Structure 1
Amino acid sequence: MELRSVETSGDLHACFELMRELRPHLKTFEEFAERWSRQRLSGYRLVALMDGECAVALAGFRVQENLVHGRHLYVDDLVTRGSARGNGYGKVVMDELKAEARRLNCSKLALDTPSTNFRGHRFYYREGLAATAFRFAMDIG
């Protein structure tokens, strides 16, 4: 297993099917690559735990700053391959996110998760995260 930053098209290809487990609305690799490229312009980074050329867990994140949290590492995407859950791969990625937050002088690590993601909630609690807010949203347009 190797944890690495996703920088190349080949690495991105290796992450596509796993990202689709989390984000099934991404229908094509091209759409995923376009969004990844655009988001990188605002600091988005993607790391993947690779088993050979297969991504078994990944996280997309960026540094943000706001009045609520100050400077913090925001996790946009975090997923472990369904068939690989329970092997500690998510913990490896989460430990890297925590370390990266410290390296980048962030005061917090934050993420959003659906209220129905009970398995994820248990994982986040085990990792020391607390549920501190509700997120409200609506589609515009």
Structure 2
Amino acid sequence: MIPRETGESCGRPVSAVELRYLDHEEDIRASYPLMRQLRPQLDSAQAFVQRWQHQRTQGYRLLALWNGGQPLGLAGFRVQDNLVHGRFVYVDDLVIDASCRSQGHGKRLIDALKAEAKVLGCCKLLLDAAMGNALGHRFYYRQGLLATALRFSMMLT
């Protein structure tokens, strides 16, 4: 279990804010409204559960920051290995509830991911950010992440 934090979050007192892995379908369902803020193409909790179940077979883990029974932030990641980076943690998803941003929750998730990456024998943390996500870019720079490449993609239909 990752350490708890006390204080105030999202404008209300908290008895315990904690980071923990989501390993059960009911937790995934409970976190669907938050993930939908980042991934609006997920049109139902069941679609999210199905994607999560499939991605777990590829090493995907979902770390959540909880205030009681309410998820405040999510970080989905997996360990990968390639010739460019060696062994690294790739962050697929990172979202903080819109009503709880700028309270240190994103930093806490990034710090937890960096620590987990080291435990897993990784020397890098990588993620993609949309070109138009200027606020996200600023946040990532403040966390010590640097833009080192552009990703190119195309739809194959």
Structure 1 and Structure 2 fold alike (TM over 0.5): yes
Bigger proportion of residues as strand? 2
Does residue 1:103 correspond to 2:119, yes or no? yes
* Alignment check: 8 A CA contact 2:61 2:78 kept: yes
- How many residue pairs align between the two structures? 141
Q: Percent identity?
A: 54
Give the greater-gyration-radius structure (CA).
Answer: 2
Alignment partner, residue 5 of structure 1: 21
What's the CA shift for 1:10?
1.9
Q: CA deviation at 1:95?
A: 0.5
SS at match of 2:152: coil
Aligned to 2:92: 76
Aligned to 2:64: 48
Is 1:134 the counterpart of 2:150? The answer is yes
For residue 66 of structure 2, give the secondary structure of its aligned residue in structure 1.
strand
Asked if the contact 2:64–2:72 (Cα under 8 Å) also holds between the matched residues in 1, the reply is yes
Which ranges in structure 2 are unaligned for 5 or more consecutive residues?
A: 1-16
- Which whole-Å CA distance do the structure 2 matches of 1:76 and 1:90 have between them? 14
Instruction: Give the secondary structure class of the aligned counterpart of 1:122.
Output: helix
Deviation at 1:31, TM superposition (A): 0.7
Higher relative contact order (CA 8 A, sep 6+): 1
The CA distance in 2 between the partners of 1:70 and 1:107, in whole Å, is 8
Task: Measure how far apart 1:100 and its partner are.
Answer: 0.4
Instruction: Compute the TM-score of the two structures, normalised by the length of structure 1.
Output: 0.98
- The answer for the alignment partner of 1:58 in structure 2 is 74
Three-state SS of the structure 2 residue aligned to 1:114 is: coil
CA distance in 2, matches of 1:39, 1:9: 13
| Residue 30 of structure 2: aligned partner | 14
Matched, 1:122 2:138: yes
CA drift of 1:52 comes to 1.0
2:49 to 33, 42, 45: 33
Measure, in 2, the Cα distance between the counterparts of 1:31 and 1:18: 14
In the alignment, structure 1 segments of 5+ residues that lack a partner are: none
Following superposition, which runs of at least 4 residues in structure 1 exceed 6 angstroms of deviation? Answer: none
Shift of 1:127: 0.5
CA RMSD of aligned residues (A): 0.6
